[in-house]
Amino acid sequence: MSLLQQSEAGLTSRADALRGESAALKQQLERLEARLETEFPGALRHTDWLVRHHAVTVLPTVASLAPLRQLAIRDRAGQPFIGFGAPLLAGNGGSVRGSGKVDDLYRGGSVNLAAIQSLSPLPETAGELRRMARSLNASESNVILAGEATETTLKATDLSDTRVLAFATHGLLAGEISGLSEPALVMTPPLEATAADDGLLTASEAAGLKLNSDWVVLSACNTAGSDGTPGAHGLSGLARAFLYAGTRALLVSHWPVRDDAAAMLTRLLKPAH
């Protein structure tokens, strides 16, 4: 065995050990949290958390400070809200805003529209977006749903004067399903896929949007995930893309979310406007 092979074997062994230690630590923390809640009801609820006193900012990278500083000197957008969601899908069952059991998203190098259409509908997303619009005193015409919630509509909409932009749909991680090399949000799929509209708003496409938003809400599974490159960290996928597109803040998820739970969570939000 060469020196290089020995080094690679050593690194692989150490990586496996670290993964095992990480899993063990996670289990210990989950047991501790469960014990606290059982033996000391309200202990977590009444803990004097740091965020009760200080606003905490989390950035994908130090480099993302540059676009945020440019946004700070722009005039504030005038339109309160636009929301996209409730894509037309034909799957059966499933209440999670993620990929479910879709295996072959790409076929022959092109998006398999049937695979996207097989994702489960999300019945709570329409009401979720309408409630957000009402809370921000926005017209219901700014809630774009079902057959209108397409990539074509999104890319044709002037978003540069919108303070809060929201998506309530399925979120897909890079590599989560076959052929998907970057994270994406699911839109209503077209009858025929094109380069401009294949039913998936990918991170690279999101980065090309022209925004001037105070807040982008990505109410979907795993929207805080990585961009899919080896060793990439969290927030480097959709979150970073929307920051580069021109938003000052984001609401994203680090885990899969249920359709009903996501709608309930955003109902509790009181964005400044």
Structural contact between residues 192 and 150, judged by C-beta atoms closer than 8 angstroms: no
**182 and 109 belong to one structural domain:** yes
Work out the angle at residue 165's Cα, subtended by the Cα atoms of residues 163 and 170, and round it to the nearest 5 degrees: 170
Question: Would you say residue 139 lies in a domain?
Answer: yes
Q: Print the domain residue range for 142.
A: 57-267
Task: Using the Cα atoms of residue 176, residue 178, residue 183 and residue 188 in order, give the sign of their dihedral.
Answer: negative
| 92 and 211 in a common domain | yes
What does the alpha-carbon distance between residue 264 and residue 175 come to, in Å, rounded to a whole number?
Answer: 29
Same domain, 71 and 43: no
The pTM of the full predicted model, rounded to 2 decimals, is 0.73
Which residue type sits at 114?
A
User: Quick check: 246 and 123 in contact, CB under 8 A?
Assistant: no
- Based on the domain organization, do 118 and 24 belong to the same domain? no
Q: Which is it for the CA torsion 4, 10, 13, 16, positive or negative?
A: negative
Let me know if residue 273 belongs to a domain. no
The pLDDT, as a whole number, for residue 12 is: 59
Same domain, residue pair 211 and 164: yes
pLDDT tens-digit profile of 55-79?
A: 777 777 777 677 766 766 667 778 9
**Domain co-membership, 10 together with 84:** no
pLDDT tier for residue 91 given thresholds of 50, 70 and 90: confident
Tokens coding 68? 């945020």
Distances from the Cα of 144 to the Cαs of 38, 81, 86, 150, in angstroms?
44, 11, 9, 9
Q: Are residues 125 and 239 part of one domain?
A: yes
Model confidence pLDDT, tens digit, residues 119-168 = 889 999 999 999 999 999 999 999 999 999 999 999 999 999 999 999 99
H helix runs in 83-211, sequence order: 113-117, 124-135, 151-156, 203-207
Cross-strand bridge partners of residue 96: 258
Residue 74 token pair: 């722009």
Same domain, 148 and 259: yes
Structural domain includes residue 101: yes
2 compared with 146, residue with greater pLDDT: 146
Q: Quick one: pLDDT at residue 131? A: 93
- DSSP code at position 52: G
* pLDDT at residue 92 is higher than 70: yes
Whole-number Å distance between alpha carbons of 224 and 100: 18
pLDDT at 195: 87
With contact defined as beta carbons under 8 Å apart, do 211 and 242 qualify? yes
Q: Is residue 272 part of a domain?
A: no
Whether residue 66 is found in the same domain as residue 132? yes
| Contact criterion met (CB below 8 Å) for 252 and 224 | yes
Residues 24 and 67 in one domain: no
- Tell me: the pLDDT tens digits for 219-234? 999 998 887 777 777 7
Q: Are residues 125 and 153 in the same domain?
A: yes
Does any domain span residue 65? Answer: yes
Give per-residue pLDDT as tens, 131-143: 999 999 999 999 9
Complete DSSP assignment for 129-162: HHHHHHHTT--GGGEEEGGG-SHHHHHHS--TTE
Number of domains in the chain: 2
28 domain-assigned: yes
Given a cut of 60, whether residue 7 has pLDDT beyond it is no
| Nearest-angstrom CA–CA distance, 135 and 85 | 17
SS3 state of residue 34: helix
Q: What is the mean pLDDT of the chain?
A: 81
Report CA-CA distances (Å) from 155 to 109, 113, 151, 197, 230: 23, 19, 6, 9, 30
Which of 29, 48, 67 is where one domain is finished? 48
Last residue in a domain, options 27, 48, 69: 48
Same domain, 97 and 139: yes
